[in-house]
Amino acid sequence: MLRTIFTLSVLAGGLLSSGALGAPSQDSASRIARAADDGGILVAQDGNLDIYYDARGNRVIVDADTGKVIAIQPPQTRLDRRALRRETRLRELGRVPDDNDRYYLDDPQDMARFRRKQLEEEGRVIPPPADEYDPNSDNSVEAYPPPPQDDSNYDNNYPDAPQSTEPGTIQRQPLNEASIDPAQPTSPSDQAGLPPTTGGKSTVEPALSLGARQDVAALQVLLDRGGASPGVIDGRFGSNVDKALAAYNQITGSNLRSTDAVGIQAALAQSGGDAFANYTITPEDAAGPYVASIPEDYSQKAQLDRMGYTSVTEALAERFHMDENYLKALNPDANFNRPGTTIKVANFGKLVSTPVARIVADKGRKEVFAYDAGDKLVAAYPATIGSADTPSPSGIHAVSRVALDPNYTYNPSINFKQGQNDKVLTIPPGPNGPVGSVWIALDKPTYGIHGTPDPSKIGKTESHGCVRLTNWDARELAKLVSPGVTVEFVD
């Protein structure tokens, strides 16, 4: 009997002690309640967690001891470091970010982020989880859109343009006029003196045809029509497009944005119709004359008869204000050397005709502004203005004379020395000459505003102190100025 009573007492004591240990204290219970009320995660084990990410980017928190899912956190609830980094950069540049702000600048990191965002929107790239973001990486994705093969490959968000009953061929006059009206071919036998070819087909350098977009080219055409030159029309965003868009809004009094596809299409319709049109290559286009190549050495340049174009595509690209590789990309199957071939070109419209009374060459912005007698901006051009070794002038100067298709006199004792050439040389005229096809001389000797043999490099390289524009922009400006027009150089 006593043994039974003792056994029961021991069992009762063990049960009471087990209940005391298992029951939470009032203080700990209140802490748990407060944690739950604060929206925290209630974990039985002391912080022993496993974190996983599912296919949708959700962060899944699992109790490592029990295997139970404690919480699922969507990506939107976590810190978006990429967005904060972009916002900080835009604020440093003086621009408040905008929901529609999809690109900007020529900074490689900015463009890499833009390409990555495009691919993410298309579902082609899954971004890394925000918590695994590497602060030492720009998260760039080395991917580009495929080279254009036909019109359907371009991202054109414009509504369908009204179809005209007339053919879409634009008519144009020589380069110094607003439009072209070439004689149409009578038969293919009229061709003669064709430049060297590669089987008649256009060849596009792959690195230069990637990333071009037809909707961007349409914006560039609109800017060109409004007197705000974007430089070459190449279907690419960049600093030249940014500057031209700002100038366009100042000239027109509008507030157009590069992301406003509907507004761009409406402005195109009001200013001359579609951004692109058809052009038929003539026997004169195919015949040239063309030169085989342009040497780099000035002494060899001086031995040529003319610094002419080297191909039909180079001549047509300049005539239509286009990058040569982009022209080829728009017409991948075209035989540019065959008269009668119809190609797609930029329909840039009429040239500026308002006389210019004052010019400002902005060295910092790498842009030239032209104002009328009422001090209203009528034209703006991207420009290459001097360099650190050969800076451009300062202060106010004036136009002294204008020469179209000029010779170029190389004098190493006055200007710069090119290669091993230490003698005065006269380089013949032509669009591929050192000063292009235009020379607007200033009252400061050896300085002027002129064209270039490399239009795609305008605003992106340096000059020997002068103001360098594309040949077509320099020719347009030359028709608007007269001797005595002031040219102010500002920093």
Virtual torsion, Cα 293, 296, 299, 301, nearest 10 deg: 30
The C-alpha angle 409, 413, 415, rounded to 5 degrees, equals 60
The rounded distance, in Å, linking the Cα atoms of 108 and 105 is 8
Packed helices 214-225 and 239-252: angle between N→C axes, nearest 10 degrees: 40
Do 276 and 212 meet the contact criterion of CB atoms below 8 Å apart?
Answer: no
Whether 464 is catalytic is no
| Pairing label, strands 425-427, 408-410 | antiparallel
> If you compute the radius of gyration of the chain from its CA atoms, what whole number of angstroms results?
33
Q: Is the dihedral of CA 241, 224, 234, 231 positive or negative?
A: negative
The yes-or-no answer on residue 397 being catalytic is: no
What is the Cα–Cα distance from 318 to 39, expressed in whole angstroms? 65
Give the sign of the dihedral formed by CA 131, CA 142, CA 214, CA 321.
positive
Whole-number Å distance between alpha carbons of 233 and 486 = 29
Q: Is the dihedral angle over the CA atoms 90, 95, 101, 104 positive or is it negative?
A: negative
Question: Residues 6 or more apart from 271 whose CB is under 8 A from it?
Answer: 222, 225, 226, 349
Tell me phi and psi for residue 247, to 5 degrees. Answer: -65, -40
* Whether 327 contacts 193, CB under 8 Å: no
Of 321, 397, 450, 464, the catalytic one is: 450
Which one is catalytic: 321, 397, 464, 466?
466
Helix axes 261-271, 214-225, angle to 10 degrees: 50
Amino acid in the structure at residue 232:
V
Q: Which amino acids are annotated catalytic? A: 450, 466
